[in-house]
Amino acid sequence: MGPFFPSFQGVCIVKPIVYGNIARYFGKKREEDGHTHQWTVYVKPYHNEDMSAYVKKVHFKLHESYADPNRIIMKPPYEVTETGWGEFEIVIKIYFHDPNERPTVTLYHILKLFQSGPDAIQARKTLISEFYEEIVFQDPTNLMHHMLTSTSQLSHGTWKHDTDFEEKKEKTIQNIMNAKNKIRHEISDLKDRLKLAKDTIFKFKSEITKFQLMITFNAKMRIKIMRKRLLNKFR
């Protein structure tokens, strides 16, 4: 059994975050290296709070073609700025101050430089691709609980994101409801078609049964008539 660390049993603390990247197009390919964009990949709090109260460091794992692809950021802003010409997956690992808490939270982000898909926002030569995520701390240790509940404001100004996540949430919920309604209608339609098929099968079976009874009856009548004729013939 491992060592015992006092914790807040039954307590759940959720820390929402935003991660993604912003990319700016140079307007043409750069002559010295062929790069077309400057980009910044980042992790930031959803609410206006200083994540360094509970985050020890953030590790950004870039493509191997970059010099020193492992970038460690020890304090806010947790971001890396580079230039390049291609899209690739960036692995983001968040480490916490309390070593007795979970070791890391790992995120995977596809660096977006070009407009594609509904999650990319294009503004002139700038593109933004960011996502909402929640870090859940279930039964945090006493130390971690103190860190999570002792954060200060990161900025005294207005705190907002390029993506309207509330609007995105409402649209997602609406899309889910529309999909559910569509599935419900399709199920109802399939049930009606199944009932019609069953009724048709029952009707055919009834007709076949009637036809078989008619054939049997006619056969019996013909046999009866033939027997009667034979009897009359030999009398």
The residue type found at 90 is I
Residue 2 has pLDDT above 90, yes or no: no
**From the CA atom positions of the chain, what is the Rg in Å?**
36
**Phi, psi angle pair for 44, to nearest 5°:** -145, 160
What one-character DSSP code corresponds to residue 130? E
Question: 30 or 226: which carries more pLDDT confidence?
Answer: 30
Q: What is the mean pLDDT of the chain?
A: 88
Q: What is the pLDDT of residues 103-137, one digit of tens each?
A: 789 999 999 999 876 555 555 679 999 999 999 99
Whether the CB-CB separation of 35 and 29 falls below 8 Å is answered with yes
The region of weakest confidence among 25-29, 161-165, 173-177, 209-213 is 161-165
Mean pLDDT, to the nearest integer, of 226-230? Answer: 80
CA–CA separation, 33 and 22 (whole Å): 20
Annotate 13-36 with DSSP letters as a single string: EEEEEEEEEEEEE-SS--TTT---
Q: What is the pTM of this model?
A: 0.68
From residue 119, alpha-carbon distances to 18, 126, 129 in Å are 13, 14, 6
Q: Which fold has domain 12-162?
A: Immunoglobulin-like (2.60.40)
pLDDT more than 70, % of the chain: 92
- CA 47, distance to chain mean position in Å, is 22
At 217 the pLDDT is 86
CA–CA separation, 168 and 181 (whole Å): 20
Collapsing DSSP to helix, strand or coil, 95 comes out as strand
Residue 99 has pLDDT above 90, yes or no: no
**Phi, psi angle pair for 34, to nearest 5°:** 80, 5
Strands 78-84 and 12-25: unpaired
Helical (H) or strand (E) element with 138 = strand 126-138
pLDDT more than 90, % of the chain: 59
Q: What is the pLDDT of residues 32-88, one digit of tens each?
A: 999 999 999 999 999 989 999 999 999 999 999 999 999 999 999 999 999 999 999
Please tell me whether the peptide bond between 77 and the residue prior to it is cis, using omega within 30 degrees of 0: yes
CA–CA separation, 150 and 113 (whole Å): 37
At 220 the pLDDT is 85
At 9 the pLDDT is 86
Encoding tokens for residue 195?
Answer: 């009932």
Encoding tokens for residue 112?
Answer: 């977006």
At 171 the pLDDT is 77
Cα dihedral angle (201, 205, 207, 209), rounded to 10 degrees? 180
